[in-house]
Structure 1
Amino acid sequence: MPQMAPIAWLSLFIIFSTIFTLFSMMNYYSVMPQTPKSFVSQKHLTSPFNWKW
């Protein structure tokens, strides 16, 4: 089995690194976070316990 030349390893590394970077960017930007419409309309849930230590 012949050995691969160093330039072939370098080109494989560059190709796989580019694919990994593009895949990561696509996954990161594909999800749109849901922002709350307004903070006033949300009811803040508070604990019924009032601890006074």
Structure 2
Amino acid sequence: MPQMAPMYWLYLFFFFMTVLLLFLMVNYFIKPFSCLNLYHRPTTTNFKSWKL
């Protein structure tokens, strides 16, 4: 029935908004890339392996 098509679009719109909100909340609260620090060294030295 063509009269029911706006109802289906409304359900799809709410589903999309819910998934988008869930995705943004998970990325905001979990922050997966803040823990990835590959270049962190606990001891800092001033040693340089090159010379001019």
CA RMSD after TM alignment? 2.5
1:9-53 deviation digits (Å, cap 9, x = unpaired) = 0000000000000001111111142365x84425xxxxxxxxxxx
Runs of 5+ in structure 1 lacking a partner?
A: 43-53
Runs of 5+ in structure 2 lacking a partner?
A: 44-52
Instruction: Calculate the TM-score normalised by the size of structure 1.
Output: 0.54
Matching of residues 10-49 of structure 1 within 5 Å: 10-32=9-31, 33-34=34-35, 39-41=40-42
Instruction: Calculate the TM-score normalised by the size of structure 2.
Output: 0.55
Identity across matched positions, percent:
11
